Structure 1
């Protein structure tokens, strides 16, 4: 009885030891959370609402500043010199035509970096709304790795497919009607103008991105040789036609000339016949004269 009890205790201790090792390995292999995920929690757009309350939308608040200014921080106010400040701004937003109906709406956002420094790892958030913006509206946040000074960059962002079914009107499903685009959506960088980071658009008025496809035609050596042969044949035919056109100027005499030659030959033959007749007549006359003399 005592031996079985000790065996059970040993098995329990062994199981607890193995479980503690497994839990420790899972904790060590866990992924670190970023401060964005820690602050926002679920993928909602509450940070966008905070940005709108702070800076407005579509330049409704004038937050631009000239020269040096003081920026708040966790350690108190910080003096920022003018040479160190820059500005990220939204240049344009276009819709991108989707070939797959199972995907959400896609947009192309052009961002400009009006600063003297390269800006790295900042966020861009797109929110689709039906009316008033709410924290549970479909949104997507992407990370922009790098944008160089005085450079413009196009970033594509796709909303969740739930953006196509945000309401119901008399049994008809209604999709999102407004689009909110925010760059530096977690307000991590100090800029000279924060208001140009937030823009809202009516989806019906957004133009589609024009895709220009360049068609390049490659000419092979066979095609080139065929074209050269065709050109040479055409030139030969043209030269032959020209020679045929100028032929009467350098060729043998025409039919009229040949007719004249035939007439002259006929005249020569007639004259020779007349001479022969004259000789015959002279011979006859001489014969008659001899005969009369003899008599």
Structure 2
């Protein structure tokens, strides 16, 4: 049995073995440490070419732009919007017709990125949640404040408190952002809204600029009531326990959520090949072993 010497063991991946070449013995270096990065690179190429892809969620604005660049997909998307418009408004299963479903499936087939993209705009989120409810009986959570408003309007008690919150009970604190203007009447309406859906505390305004001042000032003036005293900073600064209510990004989102996009759940997304990842490993090993 071949035994490594201490010197050989101390040299990374360096093994010297005796082979018979053409009938004559020869000491041949079988696996040199200098070859290691190149072997990693070769493995990376093979693994990358034959490895499965990794699904990553796509921004819906970008996914839609890909669709509109293709004539067939653009036409299919417009057909989908037309057939599914009743479902968008009602969120009722009866309005998710066979035509709506087939047109949605056609859009997903032509542009798979739309099937499970992540909404970055409030209108997209409303369409997405409506289709999920009407066609799949899935209640997707609200993320934008406009989502909350639409849900609230479907409930008479919540709708009344929401109107009061904007026009009467919380009007002073919305204008001043002062804690002294967060009255008991305002707190009563806030309780109804938060009890209806706690997302009221954390929803983002997205690109809806009209939403920003009311929610920003309310969250400052009534911070202690909404979030608790320990979560609040002085009233000169916004609390940090909720997402910033600035316009949402229209590029690729940082989130890894797999929430279905406006064309509805069927699976499919833009793919990132393992080829890229394995090449990163190869380059890293090259740097490491040649250092």
**TMscore range, shorter length:** under 0.3
Q: Which structure: greater strand fraction?
A: 1
Q: Which structure: greater helix fraction?
A: 2
Q: Report 1 or 2 for greater relative contact order, CA contacts < 8 Å, sequence distance ≥ 6.
A: 2
TM value normalised by structure 1? 0.25
Larger radius of gyration: 1
